[in-house]
Structure 1
């Protein structure tokens, strides 16, 4: 897993427009604000080739569709997002990541998210805790939303995004600060280690969330779906982070249309 992350990080940094000489390659629009670059595809191809060679019996599922997953709710499955935060990356913004997870029967067992531009690595193994840059880490100890930094992303569903924006406007200034990431994988990672107190997103794919679910859980946090139950790979929305802050966010948001 770390070999995959190291190779992906090298490739992403070599082509990063935020560095001298970095060339992301051709960029194609998938939707409003949603892009794929030659770099996404090159990193995905390299990582999946490595995984196929080492784990030929495992299924693969990745954002750009190169993996043939089969029945990914059973057995062994690798989930990969080669470049989470493509729009940021393409503009030279360092808030982007590579994320990978190994799941069995739909449950994440290993998860790793790295931020190549900053050198941060967030890793978790089921039952073994959260490790950030080689050191044990955990969620923040934040009892309420009023004391929290709230991280969020808006995704590509305009109607749901508008509801989330409206919710934050209604609750403001009932928190310390609000941050919009542009990388859901990093949003989870920041919530896992206390850089955010709460992270909220209304729609996610399995490759967005698989590593992040495990990171937050192993950091001692709550990871809940849009209905307030435990989040799984099949859940669309998430509220994650410090238990007290997450529960308080859901309390004050109750009755408001935002999910």
Structure 2
């Protein structure tokens, strides 16, 4: 099943799917296309109950809605066992916003996005570059994000988190899973119950990491005025950095606070600003 639309430059994609997969790929400017592929009886039912429509939200703002809800909780749980679902492929222009809510579905966006807000119960979330803010909440799944021009907020119960350069504040919470960040340019707050935490290059701001079980590695470029507050209950601390005394013009460029329960802490010089 295919739906075609003519769209403007200010587009929000709003996708709700109980079970299946969501793919968002780049389309030529001015055009959008939605392809729906049903799997099994549950998938066919989702298509019958679904809605695919383009709304004008005032001015040049448009909203492309793809809603495929389950009939009831039993139907949704039945399809999670592998007996149905829908693969949603959305072709949209670069620079659109993506808002997605899924029960059990991978979400993959291979285009440049303006902003992202994704919530899924079970499934991996893979995003390209995001110009502004990106928020992802996953119960179980791996989160991968390219560069982020605004804030990054990730919450996952079980799953790793990988992100490139982030210009805005970073807040990540995970119960189980490794966290790997490229370059950070603002405040960072990471809370990890089980899993290693790595920041390739922390440029400035306050970096606060709380890790119950797992190693913590943070890279710092040369020339930064530092304030360090690091401890590990069971584990070693290794640092190539020297703390710099606060100055009259505002103090440290970068403040690093690490609280590790079981795990090593490694503070090192970043070879270059990581991307």
TM above 0.5, yes or no, is no
Q: Which has the larger radius of gyration?
A: 2
Q: TM-score, normalised by structure 1?
A: 0.29
Answer 1 or 2: which has greater strand percent.
2
Answer 1 or 2: which has greater helix percent.
1
